[in-house]
Structure 1
Amino acid sequence: MDLSLARRTVTAEAGEAAVKAAVAHGRAAGKAVVAAVVDASGDLVALLRGDGAFKASITIAQDKAHTSAVFGAPTHALGAELAANPALHQGIALRPGVVLFGGGAPIVEGGVVIGGIGVSGGSEEDDRACAAAGLWALGLR
């Protein structure tokens, strides 16, 4: 019996690059956003609040990143998948740190979830585009 296992996780350098790219994408689109990157366990690695972004977006971005990392799915897809089962949808949605609307995406390397990115401050479409820009900065997607 093994007592431990190795777990891959996103680096601080990668997290910093992703949040910078996500916030820059928002700025270029005229949106003030917050971007957060968490590790595979959902713990914060990097966070950047764009100029003028709402304070509430800080927690929402972190929660989107956390949700994507621990469930291994984009937040919008998870929400859509759970919608068919209202009791399950509501039960999961009520868990602390869980967001079931767009703007969070897992960070996947070699088929393994190593973290998540979350963006808040724009519409769901804006936040998803900014999160995608963060992934692209890492050479993903």
Structure 2
Amino acid sequence: MTYAITITVPLAWDEALRRTKEALAEQGFGILSEIDVRATFTAKLGQDDGDELGDLVILGACNPGLASRALRAEPDLGLLLPCNVVVRRGPDADATVIQAIAPQTMVQLTGNPAVAEVADDAEARLTRALRSLEATSA
């Protein structure tokens, strides 16, 4: 089983990040956190490490209805929320990679069949969000 839903789009970094947030919002996901990994590497490890990494932002995406259902079924799922969505572009790349955690990972980790229905819904929404980016950037 793969643990990521991944697409690559020929979008500039800023546009890919903006459009990813919009696509997630269209599927009912809000952004609870935004971690600029490049900025953190640059601040903590130096400019060379930040430049070598390239652009990388981790978005903590959450659909409150899905999260509520998941947590009622399995309270320990709070450890896996929010759903991480990564937007990254290497220093010499000509395309941007966008990845979301595959919610079926939660089913595999918990072994709780009640989580499967929520994971199916979440995965469908995340996949639609990412596929919409592919369709509009082609």
Which TM-score applies when normalising by structure 1? 0.35
- Taking CA–CA contacts closer than 8 Å with sequence separation of 6 or more, which of the two structures ends up with the larger relative contact order? 2
Report the TM-score when normalising by structure 2.
0.35
In proportion to residue count, which structure has more strand? 2
Which structure would you say has the larger Rg?
2
Higher helix proportion (structure 1 or 2): 2
